[in-house]
Amino acid sequence: MKVAHRVARGKWPGSECPQPESGGAMPKKIGVFIVAYNAVSTIAKVLDRIPPEIRDKISEVFIFDDCSTDDTYLLGVGYKQITGWDKLQIYRNPENKGYGGNQKLGYRYAIDNDFDIVVLLHGDGQYAPECMANLIDPIERGEAEAVFGSRMMDPGAARRGGMPVYKYVGNKILTRFENSMLGMDLTEFHSGYRAYDVHALARIPFEKNSDDFHFDTEIIIQFHQHKLRIDEVPIPTYYGDEICYVNGMQYAGNVVKSIVRYRLNQAGVKSYPEYKDGTRYPIKRDRYSSHALISERIKGAAPRVLDIGCGPGNVAALIRQKDFECVGVDLVRDDDLASCVGTFHQMDLEKGLDLDYGTEFDYVVFGDILEHLTHPERLLMDARRFLTPGGRIIVSVPNITHWSIRLMLLTGNFNYMERGILDKTHMRFFTRKSMTRLLGECGFETVAVSGTPVPLGTLIGTYANSRLYKVISAIQYRAANFWKNLFAYQLIFVARQTPAPAQAIDAAQLEAAPDVEAAEASEANPLAHA
């Protein structure tokens, strides 16, 4: 929902805010959460300006006074007594929690009290309660999980509303940086006027965020990370005599730090608790990424492709762009997979490839999956049954001999991460030689091996489209293929079937392996069958 309007400078909006059309959906339990700190001179005015239609619609207004040094709490209590407004509740934190910490308490309150929608409103009067309906409406219609009021949607409105030049410029610069690093297109990241679907809030780890002012940035990142829908509506800008408690330079630094932490988390360099949940491997669109190189190696006239361990369809999406037939197999069906594969088979890959599928495939792809299995040999040998004569398999695995791992070992470290070569879910590690040997033992002859560079694009967002990055990436790619053991971040193998697998792997032993493991577990735990 993008609602355009203009507000005369120096005037509060009232009827100027366009009101959304009412829908026919079931009524939602809506709460208005007012964060307040030393707002004794403004809180009553903010409450007075909540429109009558909103007062009738909402279930509760709850004020969280963050241990103010003035009489904000007492004024709120007095306002309720004088007006008799039963929907108003006032709470006082026994100690100051900070802007972000106060929000954590309010959102937890909304979750615990079964609200459907919560609106964040500031007690200092900086944001217009008159526009509240516009924030609520997209969530009520099921079109968004978060709606942000933006002072930047209407060109020039922020300056006409009195926003100082330095804040306007800083807002623009930070928003552009955040959009570029996150791949988003918000007009403003720094407005504190917001509405959230409470059920969506319950899905993200907002309580692990900062207690400071950049909490607002971190929660945007979390919504983006969890693929929750964000909408914006224009709001008027007003700067009065309220006291600003934000240190601008410190705030900007913390915003940049939050973005960097997210990019490092997504790249698997380091794990951060606020971004841990919802982490998944995104599609790698770099020219020299494993996803792109696997797709390039699938050739021929309309080849049929079997994608083993397809996940959310990162490789399958690139294959389908060529209009090739692609069938996916994995343990869990991802919500994003439907548009990537023609057919999906759900199965436990640890138990092998139990496919009842009559079609043979020209290519079987193992994209970043073998390292997650205890017995990848079983899966490789099963794949032989589904290859056409002359068919190929394509395997990508992390290179455990990469220089970064060598340096880590040299310093006495071996730190598992959320993603990357030392992903904590990896069960096996491979070198170029060990994977070549494994393929041979499973009845495949390696015909080509290539390396990929470190995926720096996951660190820098849309800046990966710059000419400088493309040059750096090309240099990295050449180094990765000149000295694969040292510079290849991932190794991509293309192999063809040999007449029969070598004798090194006993298929019968592989079949019995799970039973042996179960027996050992039973002996270790006599109560297992109790």
318 and 437 together in one domain: yes
Domain extent, residue 55, equals 30-267
Q: What does 65-108 look like in DSSP terms, one character per residue?
A: E-S-SSSHHHHHHHHHHHHT-TTEEEEE-SS--HHHHHHHHHHH
- Give pLDDT, residue 353: 87
192 and 65 together in one domain: yes
77 and 110 together in one domain: yes
Average pLDDT over residues 270-277: 81
Separation CA 307–CA 374 (nearest Å) = 19
Whether 431 maps to a domain, the answer reads: yes
Bridge partners (DSSP) of residue 89 are 62
261 and 152 together in one domain: yes
168 is written with which tokens? 């306007």
83 and 218 together in one domain: yes
Tell me, what CATH number does 375's domain have? 3.40.50.150
Task: Provide the whole-model pTM.
Answer: 0.73
Tell me, what CATH number does 196's domain have? 3.90.550.10
Whether 305 maps to a domain, the answer reads: yes
Whether 52 maps to a domain, the answer reads: yes
Whether 283 maps to a domain, the answer reads: no
Taking Cα atoms as reference points, which of 498, 485, 495, 509 lies closest to residue 377? 509
- Give pLDDT, residue 145: 97
307 and 252 together in one domain: no
Whether 281 maps to a domain, the answer reads: no
User: Of 26-40, 317-331, 382-396, which range is least confident?
Assistant: 317-331
261 and 321 together in one domain: no
416 vs 34, higher pLDDT:
34
- Kindly report, residue by residue over 212-255, the tens digit of the pLDDT: 999 999 999 999 999 999 999 999 988 765 556 667 789 999 99
- Give pLDDT, residue 501: 64
- Give pLDDT, residue 359: 72
- Kindly report, residue by residue over 359-392, the tens digit of the pLDDT: 789 999 999 999 999 999 999 999 998 999 889 9
Confidence of residue 75 (pLDDT cuts 50, 70, 90): very high
b/e code 488-500 from CB counts within 10 Å (16+ = b) = bbbbbbbbbbeee
129 and 93 together in one domain: yes
Q: Could you tell me if 351 and 379 are in contact, meaning their C-beta atoms sit under 8 angstroms apart?
A: no
The total of structural domains in the chain comes to: 2
- Kindly report, residue by residue over 172-206, the tens digit of the pLDDT: 999 999 999 998 999 999 999 999 999 999 999 99
- Give pLDDT, residue 51: 95
258 and 309 together in one domain: no
- Kindly report, residue by residue over 433-464, the tens digit of the pLDDT: 999 999 999 999 999 999 999 887 777 777 77
345 and 457 together in one domain: yes
336 and 241 together in one domain: no
Whether 263 maps to a domain, the answer reads: yes
Whether 496 maps to a domain, the answer reads: yes
118 and 235 together in one domain: yes
Put residue 98 in one of left, alpha, beta given phi > 0 → left and psi -120 to 50 → alpha.
left
User: Of 34-38, 476-480, 496-500, which range is least confident?
Assistant: 496-500
Whether 181 maps to a domain, the answer reads: yes
